[in-house]
Amino acid sequence: MSWAYSQGLHDIGNGSYAYLQPNGTWGWSNAGLVTDSGQTLLVDTLMDLKLTRAMLERMRAAVPAAARIDLLFNTHGNPDHYFGNELAQAATIVATEHAAAEIKATTPQLIAGMMANWKMLGEGAAFAHEVMGGFDFTGITLTPPTQTFHGALTLHVGRKEVQLIEVGPAHTKGDAIAYLPAERTVFTGDILFMGSHPVMWAGPIGNWIAACERILALEVEIVVPGHGPITDKDGVRETRDYFRWLESETRRRWQDKMPAEQAARELVRARYTQWLDRERMAANVRALYREFDRQTGEPNVLEEFAAMARLHAELKRGG
């Protein structure tokens, strides 16, 4: 079974829907809707109010129950999955404890300020503006989770069981998935970027591989990623295998004391060259070098964007 990768709402059966935003690159995230017996669960909102408003209007036109969102689940703490929260007007917003902390820390005002002043903030901010400057970060009211959990939480949407399963830290500190056992469906958030390179803000990489294994152990047929087209377990295996390859190849270069940016330049041309957002290899290799060096502390986001900017520019020049 396959679904077209096209903009908008896709009925994936049994009262579940995926909202897709091709081509899934920086900021163009997916969301989901689960309904039963007049009750609703929204999985994630979008990067800005305009996009989220359009999504909700489309959902409400197709699914009358979506006129009221009872539950909103934020899969993790990246803005393209929660900046539209205020428009859902959900009675309850759920996320992991770590995701809630990240959501509260990354405010719309912070991102809007960076986008407005990118010319003064260096090459990292310039690249962030290049890839995400088209979104409107003004006028957003931060609307954080009202209920948090650690480990797992079972919700009910009408008669449907929805299992929220924490799988982070991996992409971010607080990643979680939403699994519908009876429907054999899972919404993965950014554990999966289909058709583009993922970006590892948190790690460790072993947790991301384990998250993929956790999904593969579930009885699922329909997998809705955080970015990219709807997939199945083959897409999960592809992501797992990417990280296994990346860890092995990066470790070898780290052991040889190769500089991280040189390692990224080699690896980005070695495999997965057809995927979008190849510059993310720079951030991923840097994250692995920190992990192998047993460094602690938070990476500087603008420094990570600067490294990606340099690799992006080199790829544009030389393919």
Pairwise CA distance, residues 7 & 222, whole Å: 18
Q: Hey, what domains does the chain have and what are their CATH numbers?
A: 8-244 (3.60.15.10)
- The residues, ordered by sequence, that sit 6+ positions from 1 with a Cβ below 8 Å of its Cβ are 221, 222, 232
Name the E strands within 60-175: 71-73, 92-96, 147-149, 152-157, 160-166
- The residues, ordered by sequence, that sit 6+ positions from 22 with a Cβ below 8 Å of its Cβ are 5, 6, 7, 28, 229
The proportion of the chain whose per-residue pLDDT surpasses 70, expressed as a percent, equals 99
> pLDDT value at position 202?
97
- Phi then psi for residue 297, to 5 deg, are 100, 165
> pLDDT value at position 220?
98
pLDDT of residue 1 exceeding 70, the answer is no
pLDDT of residue 127 exceeding 70, the answer is yes
- Of the candidates 281, 81, 292, 253, the one whose C-alpha atom is nearest the C-alpha of residue 168 is 81
pLDDT of residue 318 exceeding 90, the answer is no
Angle between helices 301-318 and 123-132 (to 10 degrees): 70
Pairwise CA distance, residues 16 & 39, whole Å: 12
pLDDT tens per residue across span 150-201: 999 999 999 999 999 999 999 999 999 999 999 999 999 999 999 999 999 9
- pLDDT confidence bin for 319, thresholds 50/70/90: low
> pLDDT value at position 3?
83
Please compute, for residue 87, the number of CA atoms within 13 A of its CA located in the half-sphere on the CB side: 23
pLDDT of residue 271 exceeding 90, the answer is yes
pLDDT tens per residue across span 290-311: 999 999 888 999 999 999 999 9
> pLDDT value at position 275?
98
Give buried/exposed letters for 31-49 (b at 16+ CB in 10 A, else e): bbbbbbeebbbbbbbbbbb
- Mean pLDDT, the chain, rounded, equals 97
> pLDDT value at position 2?
73
- pLDDT confidence bin for 148, thresholds 50/70/90: very high
* Interstrand relation of 92-96 and 147-149 (parallel, antiparallel or unpaired): parallel
* CB-based contact 293:279 (threshold 8 Å): no
> pLDDT value at position 296?
87
Mean pLDDT (whole number) for 59-86: 97
